[in-house]
Amino acid sequence: MASPQAEAQKAIIIQFREQVLGSGTVPTLEEQRAGAMAMGQSGTVPDGVTITEAYAGGVRAYWNDPEGCAQDRVLLYVHGGGYVLMSPKSHERLVAHLAKATGCRALSIDYRLAPEHPHPAAVEDALSAYRWLLGLGYEPSKIAISGDSAGGGFTLATLVAIRQAGLPQPAAAVPLSPWTDLEGTGESMTSKADVDLMVGREVLQGMAAAFLGPNGNARDPLAAPLYADYKGLAPIYIQVGGDETLLDDSTRVAEKAKAAGVEVKIDIFPEMQHVFQGSVGNMPEATDAVARVGAWLRPKLGL
């Protein structure tokens, strides 16, 4: 049974939807981005994390350094938002908590967004940031990659891009509620439509069109990693909510990766909404999920 805090967060989501959809007008992209930024800060601000700006291979980014953390390990984070919304600022609290739970610094990148910069701009930026970390002297075995929603799919796509570039794989990857199928063919897109308060088919179709551009391929593995070859990729830990329309985006990827011989762990959290981890510190399920990420990542990074 979902916690009272989780139920309260659902009420906030419903109220936000009514405010946006009840106006009868379709919000502009700028209005959508402003609203998404406001919704992204549902977690607490963790103590003892210093945030500084950097440029990772030409990509603006932000270091998150918990007090006393390992400086020779790093979690590279790519935020969610359907490739068109949000930024490291909207995910600042979540990333800081993940860094503390893991015990190392995190680098959250401000990759280029669609529709201004359609695919493959985002994955190019992530690959540039990964190359930059390697150039700084970080060993691949001491780098992990994580992201949520579109950033979760983007995390998997980055593993594929790293392999295609002939670079060594990182130690591990942690996709949270990953969006991996741009066509929405999973059964959960229908079966969970009545309980998912955040993600629906129509919204995803619009974001996919903006992300791919007029000539994009919805089954390009670097855009829709459901169609990727997983052979030789880094170990993967997936978290997803049980009430998500994107549930099958996670379960199908997990099955495919396991069949390719990849070490895969998947946790499905009953009754949880899309990227519920963002409420870390304010919702026990989210706090538990972030702690699980840290517990899984630490031995992968040698911590």
Q: Is residue 13 part of a domain?
A: yes
The pLDDT score that the predictor gives to residue 25 is 67
Q: Is residue 31 part of a domain?
A: no
CATH number where 191 lies: 3.40.50.1820
Q: Is residue 30 part of a domain?
A: no
Domain count for the chain, please give it: 1
Q: Is residue 100 part of a domain?
A: yes
Determine which one of 87, 177, 188, 244 is catalytic.
244
Mean pLDDT of 85-110: 97
Domain of 115 in residue numbering reads as 4-22+42-300
Mean pLDDT of 84-92: 94
Q: Cα–Cα distance between 175 and 207 in angstroms, integer?
A: 19
The pLDDT score that the predictor gives to residue 55 is 97
The tens digit of pLDDT for each residue in 225-252 reads 999 999 999 999 999 999 999 999 999 9
Among positive and negative, which fits the CA dihedral 129, 133, 134, 139?
Answer: negative
Examine the pLDDT at 39 and tell me if it is beyond 90. no
Q: Is 149 a catalytic residue?
A: yes
The tens digit of pLDDT for each residue in 128-173 reads 999 999 999 999 999 999 999 999 999 999 999 999 999 999 999 9
Q: Is residue 32 part of a domain?
A: no
The pLDDT score that the predictor gives to residue 33 is 78
Cβ neighbour number for residue 288 with a 10 Å cutoff = 14
- % residues pLDDT > 90 (the chain): 87
Half-sphere exposure (Cβ direction) of 90: Cα atoms closer than 13 Å: 22
Buried b / exposed e along 51-76 (16+ C-beta atoms within 10 A): beeeebbebbbbbbbbeebbeebbbb
The pLDDT score that the predictor gives to residue 31 is 78
Which conformational region is residue 166 in: left (phi greater than 0), alpha (psi within -120 to 50 degrees), or beta? left
pLDDT band of residue 22 (cuts 50, 70, 90) is: low
- Return the ∠ at Cα 174 (arms to 210 and 70), rounded to 5°: 120
The pLDDT score that the predictor gives to residue 40 is 65
Q: Is residue 34 part of a domain?
A: no
Examine the pLDDT at 38 and tell me if it is beyond 70. no
Determine which one of 90, 274, 279, 285 is catalytic.
274
Q: pTM of the entire structure? A: 0.96
Mean pLDDT of 57-73: 98
Q: Is 244 a catalytic residue?
A: yes
Q: Is 274 a catalytic residue?
A: yes
Tokens of 250: 């996670």
The pLDDT score that the predictor gives to residue 35 is 72
Examine the pLDDT at 23 and tell me if it is beyond 60. no
Determine which one of 42, 149, 177, 250 is catalytic.
149
pLDDT band of residue 42 (cuts 50, 70, 90) is: confident
Q: Is residue 102 part of a domain?
A: yes
Q: Cα–Cα distance between 243 and 194 in angstroms, integer?
A: 9
Q: Is residue 35 part of a domain?
A: no
In the predicted model, what is the mean pLDDT of the chain? 94
The pLDDT score that the predictor gives to residue 21 is 57
